[in-house]
Structure 1
Amino acid sequence: MNYLSVENISKSYGERTLFENVSFGINKDQKIAFIAKNGTGKTTIMNIITGKDEPDSGQVVMRKDIKMAFLSQVPDLQDELTIEESIFASDNDTLKVIEAYEKALENPDDAESYQKAFDQMDQLNAWDFETQFKQILFKLKLDDLKLKVKNLSGGQKKRLSLAIILINRPDLLILDEPTNHLDLEMIEWLENYFAKENMTLFMVTHDRFFLERVCNEIIELENGKIYQYKGNYSYYLEKKELRIASENASIDKAQNLFVKELEWMRRQPKARTTKSKSRQDDFYVIKEKAESRRREQQVELEINMERMGSKIIELHKLVKKFKDKTILDGFSYDFQRGERIGIIGKNGTGKTTFLNILTGTIPPDSGKVVIGETMKIGYYTQSGIQPKYGQKVIDVIKEFGEYIPLMKGRTISAGQLLERFLFDRKKQHDYVEKLSGGELKRLYLCTVLIQNPNFLILDEPTNDLDIVTLNVLENFLVDYPGCLIVVSHDRYFMDKIVDHLFVFRGEGVIEDFPGNYSDFRTYEDSAEPVKDDAPKEKNNWKQQQNASAGLSFNEQKEYAKLEREIKDLEFEKKRIEQLFSDGKVADAEISAKANELQQVIEKIETKELRLLELMEKMD
């Protein structure tokens, strides 16, 4: 059954044509994702579908009596209403009956009103509905129903708007970035909710796990044209690769991007339901997989950033509290070269506060942060950039730097970096006030990266970025040689970029987990159930690691790093030996190549000796 048809719509702004003769349909029970680069007309099409904008030509035809709801980026709520009043302020008959029943409960002396409300609940079978909507509010952490909208945070307002839509169950649900402002627990709940419910969805989202597990069709707007793929994200990647190859076989870079993305998708672990035979065996399997994943990526950039000294950043017994809420409780950590740490945890557990303490934005209550003399921190915050009115895009980035140095004397200029992040030469000379929200975020990223930091901190970098830009950012970060800390609710992004996690449990408990997000979920799902009287630190990975392996935590990290470096050196040794074997070394280069090979062999021997020393301590 067709719910809605978009028929040959076109839209232009002045001389700029966003799209022409775009057509597609939305049918009952379809779960469609709409993909497009920022600034290419994605929001405009959603506004046309929902009646907030008009096409220059064409039309949108909706089936009669279809109820449609739209979750926008900016919630449309009444400030003076409470959460409860906002939920009941709808034309839903069942909700009105539940509202009457709730009011009757508040007046137990009025037996007649109570009996009437009770009977109506029975007649409409509203009991299950009431249970379900209370569960939705609980999952979205909207517990205080008497709280007024005007006193809610931006994230709470977005969650309230989502709750209202889910509770009212429209025939067609239009969603603009539904996972923004949700923590990972909420995202996974919403993902499971949509996957099992018979709902018709049309959504814009950059969450590729969401696309993979919820959507059964993907519609892409590219260069003003619509392409439709009858499958999930993996299917889309595969078919798009074939389409690009058939349309233009010479676009090697774009093709390789999707081939790499698809290969990575296929390597991801399936969800496991059986419990692990040995938690320690699992630990080392996860550790090995986490350390090997990034080596499978092809290096495209060799950034020549400022050399790091022996001291990176040291955290000594950090304590931070806000009234009765503990954020950090004596947390210590010594960062090592090349570490790539993801930070996860529920909203309100102190992730951003931790980053602000790390960067000196706010002080700890006690303890200290010691930053090495050679460290140059780049900090991408959620607050974004505030460019001057009338500035051009290229001028904004040049205020922060002219180029990024690469190996062998090469550079990436400010303009080339902007091109890599999808600002073409024409766009670089646009005024910043013309940029969309996603494009401003993209520009902000470039201003941080052009400064060539050797310690990069990214706080929710994926919010408002389209999937194409996310691929570009991921490929840049895969090549990034410095230390990296990422806070993100984008599980796919975290899986691809980080090697281990800081898990913020709340109440000052922070655990160090040696793997990415999928590893963490697999481990959590397969872990033995914890008794009710167990302490909060139920899975202190650092303690388990030290107790079982006989190594200090820093020695564990050194051991993992040595394994990684030895494998890399073995690969380099084989590569040079193969050059000699194939006769590809010129006579003038034989001596230099032989010396290079000998140096690699000596490095392998030195690192293997240290590895053996550590292995002996593990016995």
Structure 2
Amino acid sequence: MHYVTVEGLTKSYGVKPLFKNISFHIEEGDKIALVALNGTGKSTLLKIVLGKEMPDDGKVWIHKDVTVVMLEQQSDFDLSKSVIENIFNHDHPVLNAIKEYELLTEEGHEPDPLKLADAFARMDELNAWHFDSKVKQILGKLNIHNLEQPVGSLSGGQQKRVALAKVLIDIGFEHKHVLLIMDEPTNHLDVSMIEWLENYLDQERVTLLLVTHDRYFLDSVCNEIMELDQEQLFIYKGDYENYLEKKAAREEMDKSSVEKARNTYRKELEWMRKQPKARTTKSKSRQDAFYEVKEKAATRIADQQLELNVKMTRLGGKILELKKVYKAFGDHVILKGFDYTFKKGERVGIVGKNGVGKSTFLNMLLGTEQPDSGKINVGETIVFGNYSQSGLVVKEDMRVIEFVKNIAENFPLADGSKVSAAQFLELFLFPAEKQYTYISKLSGGEKRRLHLLSILFRNPNFLVLDEPTNDLDLPTLSILESFLQEYQGCVIIVSHDRYFMDKLVEHLFVFEGDGQIRDYPGNYTQYREWQKEEDKKKTAEKKEIKPEPVAATTPAATSTARKMSFKEKRELELLEKEIENLETEKKTIEAKLASGELPYEEMEPLTHRIGEVMQLLDDKGMRWLELSELSGS
């Protein structure tokens, strides 16, 4: 089914065009990534498709049966209302029934038996249990539990997860044909959540248009990439690797085309300067062609590789040393006797779930947070460069070039030469005309890029980067990676961007919780492979262990065992029915596929569905085992 047609779209802000005369189509099942330099119109294009902004020219057609849902960077929540009120804000019987049931059975509540019975009856009547199961999965995987908490009391990252949960629940509830638009969906998610979201979007038959800087996520989820570049739109079918290859080939062609245009331009310029008196039709057409060639010849092919042999502040023998460091906030333990001595040129990645203390650890290294006990010794030659999540701080609005020149006029290189502030800005994709823009006029991503540039321009020898990839575009990430690969100082990176980590770090500090930190010798992908192997071993060991004879339980032991909640008892009953229905559906589909009589158009959806059914059986089977153990305890 054809979802969206965009034809001849043009949009400008002031005299600067964002894009000119671009066209594309979205078909059912497409999963498209939109990539571009920050400030070149990605978010604007998404809003035009959504109908929140109007183009200067061109048209957008959306099929009448298609519902468009968008996850935006800034969520439009009612901050005074609770999490569940914001998530279930549609006045619909099914959603109202689930909302009532979830509130009644929330952890820590002793529900009114009559109200609970009414809620069960309502859920049965509306056949809402399957959808409720999906809601539970989404909320659980995104670590959203306190549903009655006001959204205004949540952190920015927590609000982003609530917004994501709302969008995923909406698309499950909405009509069959949904176009999901997502703007940086992986920001503020930890790696396990990102991996779950990848699998979820891959399994769901959703049509997707997204902006993301996470290249592994993009590669896993998307089957098409659209790039906005120099006011044009380029479309690449396939994965991220194919995009890189095709883009490199296109840029090579552009370079040769520009060089050819410059040669033509020089010849035509000589002709134009002769100022021929007779303006014949032929000469007029030649003048028009001249101006076209001139524009092509003036095209600046941005070389996005940064090769700077940096003259870094010398690192002494002593860099950074931690001795028996302890840190906790009440019962929440961050470090428990941590020892480590950093070496020259070390590149360390830090990973762990949200809330385990990664940012606190960085603050202790930087001296802005003190340990409870132990010592952190910093070498006298160390110059920290701290790229924090707090973002760019500017006392008063000023132009981009003025902001950088206030740090230094030049950036020193190892060969004794210097790069000017303007040249350094150019290398970080701020062209000459952009350098005289006021900082307040920059996009969010451009401000992040300027913040990063300002840290590097101070020429530190020990970089601390806390989520440096959030809101940065792919060209800027490529530049940052090139810079860091040549960088001779120490680097510590906290990031949920697995591609970025894999490319740069040599080993990981894995924050496992309760003050435990594992020093893993490898990058993130290697660690995840090792972790999966360890999980397999543990599962195999559990299967081999025979259950011990159950001793008679004393009253004291019985009183300490956790009882099943109303919610869990009901979930166990429903799981048994759902598993039985799924087994029946699986057998039916297998029989149809084995018959050999199905036409292709019927076979394809059935093949997709049997994969979904098998995954659901695995998930529900594991949950049934967990609840069965509880019911027997």
Distance 2:120 2:314 in 1: 73
Contact 1:101/1:114, CA 8 A, preserved across alignment: no
| Corresponding residue of 2:566 | none
Could you tell me which amino acid in structure 2 is paired with residue 27 of structure 1? E
Work out which of the residue numbers 120, 123, 134 in structure 2 matches 1:121: 123
Greater shift, 94-103 or 326-335, is seen at: 94-103
Could you tell me which amino acid in structure 2 is paired with residue 133 of structure 1? V
Q: What do residues 151-200 of structure 1 show as CA deviations (whole Å, max 9, x unaligned)? A: 11111111111101111214111100000010111111101111121111
| Corresponding residue of 2:514 | 507
| Corresponding residue of 2:446 | 439
Cα deviation for residue 91 of structure 1 reads 4.5
Indicate yes or no: 2:529 matched with 1:522. yes
Contact 1:31/1:202, CA 8 A, preserved across alignment: yes
| Corresponding residue of 2:60 | 60
Could you tell me which amino acid in structure 2 is paired with residue 74 of structure 1? Q
Work out which of the residue numbers 305, 314, 320 in structure 2 matches 1:307: 314
Contact 2:319/2:379, CA 8 A, preserved across alignment: yes
Distance 1:212 1:454 in 2: 34
Could you tell me which amino acid in structure 2 is paired with residue 161 of structure 1? A
Could you tell me which amino acid in structure 1 is paired with residue 58 of structure 2? G
Q: What do residues 123-166 of structure 1 show as CA deviations (whole Å, max 9, x unaligned)? A: 54322211111111011000111111111111111111110111
Q: Secondary structure at the match of 1:329?
A: strand
| Corresponding residue of 1:45 | 45
Could you tell me which amino acid in structure 2 is paired with residue 90 of structure 1? H
Distance 1:486 1:461 in 2: 8
Indicate yes or no: 2:481 matched with 1:478. no
Distance 1:446 1:109 in 2: 61
**Where do 1:18-167 residues align within 5 Å?**
18-102=18-102, 108-110=112-114, 114=117, 117-167=119-169
Could you tell me which amino acid in structure 2 is paired with residue 400 of structure 1? I
Q: What do residues 70-108 of structure 1 show as CA deviations (whole Å, max 9, x unaligned)? A: 111111111222122222222554323323545677765
| Corresponding residue of 1:556 | none
Could you tell me which amino acid in structure 1 is paired with residue 350 of structure 2? I
Indicate yes or no: 2:230 matched with 1:226. no
Work out which of the residue numbers 165, 171, 175 in structure 1 matches 2:182: 175
Could you tell me which amino acid in structure 2 is paired with residue 413 of structure 1? S
Contact 1:299/1:479, CA 8 A, preserved across alignment: no
State the TM-score, normalizing by the size of structure 1: 0.75
Distance 1:104 1:323 in 2: 31
Q: What do residues 10-64 of structure 1 show as CA deviations (whole Å, max 9, x unaligned)? A: 1112211111112112221111101110011111111111222111112221111
Could you tell me which amino acid in structure 2 is paired with residue 83 of structure 1? V
| Corresponding residue of 1:590 | none
Q: What do residues 390-422 of structure 1 show as CA deviations (whole Å, max 9, x unaligned)? A: 411111112222333222212222222211110
Change (3 A) 1:446 1:136: same
Distance 2:257 2:504 in 1: 29
Distance 1:346 1:434 in 2: 35
Change (3 A) 1:512 1:107: closer
Distance 2:143 2:168 in 1: 14
Contact 2:84/2:99, CA 8 A, preserved across alignment: no
Q: Secondary structure at the match of 2:471?
A: coil
Could you tell me which amino acid in structure 1 is paired with residue 29 of structure 2? D
Ranges in structure 2 where 5+ consecutive residues have no aligned partner: 260-304, 542-633
Cα deviation for residue 118 of structure 1 reads 3.9
Could you tell me which amino acid in structure 2 is paired with residue 29 of structure 1? G
Identity of aligned residues (%): 51
Contact 2:88/2:99, CA 8 A, preserved across alignment: yes
Q: Secondary structure at the match of 2:325?
A: strand
Distance 2:258 2:379 in 1: 44
Contact 1:389/1:432, CA 8 A, preserved across alignment: no
Change (3 A) 1:323 1:500: same
Contact 2:141/2:193, CA 8 A, preserved across alignment: yes
**Where do 1:587-598 residues align within 5 Å?**
none
Distance 1:299 1:77 in 2: 41
| Corresponding residue of 2:619 | none
Q: Secondary structure at the match of 2:317?
A: coil
Indicate yes or no: 2:419 matched with 1:417. no
Q: Secondary structure at the match of 1:447?
A: helix
Could you tell me which amino acid in structure 2 is paired with residue 206 of structure 1? H
Q: What do residues 264-290 of structure 1 show as CA deviations (whole Å, max 9, x unaligned)? A: xxxxxxxxxxxxxxxxxxxxxxxxxxx
Q: What do residues 516-549 of structure 1 show as CA deviations (whole Å, max 9, x unaligned)? A: 11111111112254659x9xxxxxxxxxxxxxxx
Q: Secondary structure at the match of 1:24?
A: strand
Contact 1:245/1:251, CA 8 A, preserved across alignment: no
Change (3 A) 1:128 1:40: same
Cα deviation for residue 208 of structure 1 reads 0.3
Could you tell me which amino acid in structure 2 is paired with residue 143 of structure 1? H
Distance 1:451 1:393 in 2: 16
| Corresponding residue of 1:454 | 461
Distance 1:48 1:333 in 2: 52
Ranges in structure 1 where 5+ consecutive residues have no aligned partner: 253-297, 535-619
Distance 1:402 1:506 in 2: 45
Could you tell me which amino acid in structure 2 is paired with residue 243 of structure 1? R
Contact 1:22/1:225, CA 8 A, preserved across alignment: yes
Q: What do residues 433-477 of structure 1 show as CA deviations (whole Å, max 9, x unaligned)? A: 111111111111111111111111111111110001100110011
Could you tell me which amino acid in structure 2 is paired with residue 397 of structure 1? V
Contact 2:392/2:447, CA 8 A, preserved across alignment: yes
Distance 2:113 2:489 in 1: 69
Distance 2:150 2:160 in 1: 14
Cα deviation for residue 486 of structure 1 reads 0.6
Distance 2:466 2:255 in 1: 37
Q: What do residues 353-376 of structure 1 show as CA deviations (whole Å, max 9, x unaligned)? A: 111110011111111211111111
| Corresponding residue of 1:580 | none
Contact 2:103/2:147, CA 8 A, preserved across alignment: no
Greater shift, 229-238 or 33-42, is seen at: 229-238
Q: Secondary structure at the match of 2:496?
A: coil
Number of aligned residue pairs: give it.
Answer: 486
Contact 1:456/1:483, CA 8 A, preserved across alignment: yes
Q: Secondary structure at the match of 1:484?
A: strand
Which of these two proteins has the greater Rg computed from alpha carbons?
Answer: 2
| Corresponding residue of 1:197 | 204
Contact 1:82/1:148, CA 8 A, preserved across alignment: yes
| Corresponding residue of 1:295 | none
Q: Secondary structure at the match of 2:123?
A: helix
| Corresponding residue of 1:602 | none
Change (3 A) 1:246 1:61: same
| Corresponding residue of 2:601 | none
Q: Secondary structure at the match of 1:409?
A: coil
Distance 2:511 2:242 in 1: 34
Cα deviation for residue 389 of structure 1 reads 3.4
Contact 2:306/2:483, CA 8 A, preserved across alignment: no
Could you tell me which amino acid in structure 1 is paired with residue 521 of structure 2? P
Contact 1:244/1:251, CA 8 A, preserved across alignment: no
Distance 1:190 1:143 in 2: 18
Change (3 A) 1:426 1:388: farther
| Corresponding residue of 1:272 | none
Contact 2:306/2:479, CA 8 A, preserved across alignment: no
Greater shift, 89-98 or 182-191, is seen at: 89-98
